[in-house]
Structure 1
Amino acid sequence: MTPAIPHGPDDLTPSWLGAALGGGATPVAVDRVVVTPIGTGQTGATYRLAVDYPAAGAHPRTLVAKLPAQDDTVRAGVTLGYLAEVEFYAGVAHRTRVPVPRCHHSAVNADGSEYVLLLDDLDPAQQGDQVAGCDEEIARRAVTALAGLHGPTWCDASWLELPVGSMPKPRDTDAAGGLGQVVEMIAPAILERFGPFLDDTDRETLRLALELMGPWLRTDTGRYALMHGDFRLDNLLFDVDRLFVVDWQTLGVGLPARDLAYFIGTCLDPELRADAEQRLVAAYHAELLRHGVRGYDLETCLADYRLGMLQGPLIIALGAAFAATTDRGDDLFRVMLRRSCRAIRELGTLDLVRAADATT
């Protein structure tokens, strides 16, 4: 029997866990579960489960459970993300080559207001630090892992029928226009909230980027793949020789280099980014070719990378508007905006968007 979806951490009981690990068949005998909150998620709640079994066996001694935010207001605003993350683990992950934790159980209700994921505990792997940023070697590991998502799904039309996604799909101009209007509505609040922490140049770049979000979202290069949508250091786990990508609530389909630009533009200090970005884009491009992508030269990849840089302001604006407010979250958004705005200027992204819009 399939177990009910737990509403909160008190529902992560031995009987629930045993049924979940049993996969709807014979439940696994579980003596005790100790539930401990981990992380500071702004759109959900994550817990580590320490498990005791009555007999030795192959079952994991620790697991990670993901549940919706316990704040009903936050939960209501991110249900599409919950639906997307369950869809990724249940029906998408095995069709990619991106490294992710094993999923032991997943469930979601029809409207996405209740969901659960039961994942491998990847301890001692450590979460990346978005505020601190990373060096070029870590960035290279990240962008080559990203190619394992994009390469196997490159321009496969079946992904245009993906039933979930938090971003408009290519050629869906109505959805792109709708999201552009959402950004237009929240832009004054975003500028009021973060403007005082930006210099005049960055503040003007942010204003123009938000203003051009609708045309940017409608831009169609003809290239698309599955996108993570929020591919950054806080959503990566590292140990000595492994990397895992987590937090798939922003799963979607779109220009692949948006993920690439978002990572490089928001995770690297501007001086390092300017020095290393061509090498990093080349490493990503080479890995795409290894995954079978053809007819996509490095020059086009670099142009897509420049165009994709508005992913930063988009995700930051939506995250700031709809996620729970935390001190670290605000620090994170400020640092990301400074890095992203400078990259947008130095790469001429706004001019690319205007030129693309003029030809449509």
Structure 2
Amino acid sequence: MTISHAGDARRSTIPTDVDGLTASWLSDLLRSAGNDAEIVSVESEPVGSGQMAGSYRLTPTWAAPGDLPRTMVAKLAIGERAQREFAAGVFHNEVLFYQQLAPTLTAPIPLCHAAVISDDHTEFVLLLEDMAPSVQGDQIIGCTPEQAHAVALAAAGLHAPRWCDGTLTLLPGLALPTHDDRLLMDSVLGPMADAFRSRFDLSGREAATIDWLVATAGDWLERDPRRFSLIHGDLRIDNILFGPDDSVTIVDWQTITLGNPLRDIAFLLATSLGTDDRRAHEREMVAAYHAALLAHGVTDYSLDDCWSDYVDSLIQAPMIIVFGCGAAMPTERGDRMFTTMLERAAAAIDDLNPGVLS
């Protein structure tokens, strides 16, 4: 087991439920990450609505006063081992993100106090900055155009600093898709789409969207992107914290990958805005995002290319919906969320790729 910034430090166990986050265990983790601090007691309460991991606000009592946070948020792998094994890759990605990638970006991201992950990546704990009084967005309700605009601008601080940066491919688990990746996806997408269809009563347009996804995702994934960057992969309102001053913070970095950056923007606007708001504002939002990229130093990228990439990337929405639904523990809220997102995404695909759902 490895602990971030901790050299040869080791732990015999990593908790997979909040009861294991004891004062002594947390103190050891913080010390292993270079924090000279001891917790004598800790209280916890659940926060967020994560589908693949649990998050808890911790209120520690510190042994000695100092420059220490009043609260922290602990994120950890939960659920049965089989589910954690299925999600091991995304757990690895999130720890990698906070350890090695977050410091290179300008996007608004919580500070990571400490992290630990098991060798097989089925167990992990992150101790993150508590962004309260910021509140999580609600994917089912959706967001306002102003909120979506703010998130799109924040995403430019994720994409631009590592724009077409080939060194990203040297990090474990990060690579542009290969033919083998396409074959792997083809082998699982069909069965997962069938499971999605059997779980939900889909309308004609939503059902056609799933059919279109299965028919075209392989070719789309394997196509060489003309431009790439680190992308969030699941950039939607449930993964955004909104501050009382209208600031935004991007969280839930489990699905990072390399790809066309407009995959994030397409997924955000297609699934988090109501259809009427998206139709009215998406062109101006893509233009604002493009301007932010240029302000961050991106060159040789026209607004027309940006819009074309946006339209081409709409397939990200049904792909993440189908895979996310298959990976998450079924819940009433989760089911409502996935069907709401698909309804919005199907409308966007139909609007901007006329005829593909016929």
Residue 199 in 1 paired to residue 207 in 2?
no
Instruction: Give the one of 174, 180, 188 matched to 1:174.
Output: 180
Q: CA deviation at 1:176?
A: 2.4
Q: Secondary structure at the match of 2:115?
A: strand
Partner residue, 2:244: 240
Task: Give the distance between the partners of 1:188 and 1:257, measured in 2 at CA.
Answer: 28
CA 1:27–1:3 in 2, change beyond 3 Å: closer, same or farther?
farther
Instruction: Give the one of 98, 102, 111 matched to 2:120.
Output: 111
Q: CA deviation at 1:55?
A: 2.8
Q: Is the 8 A contact 2:133 2:244 kept in 1?
A: no
Partner residue, 2:287: 282
Residue 125 in 1 paired to residue 130 in 2?
no
Q: CA deviation at 1:26?
A: 7.2
Q: Is the 8 A contact 2:185 2:218 kept in 1?
A: yes
Runs of 4+ residues over 4 Å off in structure 1: 24-27
Residue 336 in 1 paired to residue 341 in 2?
yes
Q: Secondary structure at the match of 1:281?
A: helix
Q: CA deviation at 1:3?
A: 5.8
Equivalent AA in structure 2 for residue 285 of structure 1: H
Task: Give the distance between the partners of 2:121 and 2:177, measured in 1 at CA.
Answer: 26
Q: Kindly report which structure 2 residues correspond to 1:83-94, keeping only aligned pairs within 5 A, or say none.
A: 83-94=92-103
Q: Secondary structure at the match of 2:221?
A: helix
Equivalent AA in structure 1 for residue 340 of structure 2: V
Task: Give the distance between the partners of 2:354 and 2:155, measured in 1 at CA.
Answer: 22
Equivalent AA in structure 2 for residue 208 of structure 1: W
Q: Is the 8 A contact 2:57 2:74 kept in 1?
A: yes
Q: Kindly report which structure 2 residues correspond to 1:1-360, keeping only aligned pairs within 5 A, or say none.
A: 2=9, 4=11, 6-7=14-15, 8-24=17-33, 27-165=36-174, 169-170=175-176, 172-194=178-200, 196=201, 198-241=202-245, 242-348=247-353
TM-score (norm 2): 0.92
Equivalent AA in structure 1 for residue 195 of structure 2: A
Aligned-pair identity (%)? 38
Q: Is the 8 A contact 2:48 2:136 kept in 1?
A: no
Task: Give the distance between the partners of 2:76 and 2:151, measured in 1 at CA.
Answer: 26
Partner residue, 1:358: none
Q: Is the 8 A contact 1:3 1:19 kept in 2?
A: no
Equivalent AA in structure 2 for residue 211 of structure 1: A
In the TM superposition, what whole-angstrom CA distance separates every residue of 1:12-66 from its partner, at most 9, and x where no partner exists?
A: 1222222222245575232211122223322111111111123321111111111
Q: How many residues align?
A: 347
CA 1:145–1:341 in 2, change beyond 3 Å: closer, same or farther?
same
RMSD: 1.8
Q: Secondary structure at the match of 1:296?
A: coil
Partner residue, 1:357: none
